[in-house]
Structure 1
Amino acid sequence: MTRILFWLALAFLVVAAIRSKLKSNSRPPKQQPPVRRAPPKEAETEPMLQCAHCGVHYPASENVPAAGRNYCSAAHAPTA
């Protein structure tokens, strides 16, 4: 008789554990409060120029002006 009660109790505990696990998985997860983030800073950009010799685009800060045109390096600028 004790064996039957043992197996019934064990079966009851297994079923209860499975139902509990299934019930906890079916619940929607708790919503966390939104994280406040600083607004993204706009990147400082500079205009791009195109080399009159090779066509490469480069930042305006690296410009080598010559003969009224823009060049990416002194090697591409015409010599006088």
Structure 2
Amino acid sequence: MSPQYIICDELGAEEAESVLAAQNCGVPLIATAHASSLEGLMKREAFVKLHRAGVFGTYVGIRRMGAGYGFDITEGQAVAI
């Protein structure tokens, strides 16, 4: 069996090298990470490395808004480091 997707929950610095290795398998990766904002996430060295390697094509931020949620969607090439 070959996976169609790799899904990682709460990706952190410890998993960055494994994610880079998995990127070479040609399987799309979906991951979650906790941060106050995309800018905050990109201040972490491990995520800068993953971003520069092109691991993620799109970033989705989720925030609480009253009783619901708001979403911010940013294409990878639009992210400034």
Asked if Structure 1 and Structure 2 have the same fold, meaning a TM-score greater than 0.5 normalized by the shorter chain, the answer is: no
| TM-score normalised per structure 1 | 0.17
| TM-score normalised per structure 2 | 0.17
Larger RCO (CA under 8 A, 6+ residues apart): 2
Richer in strand (by share): 2
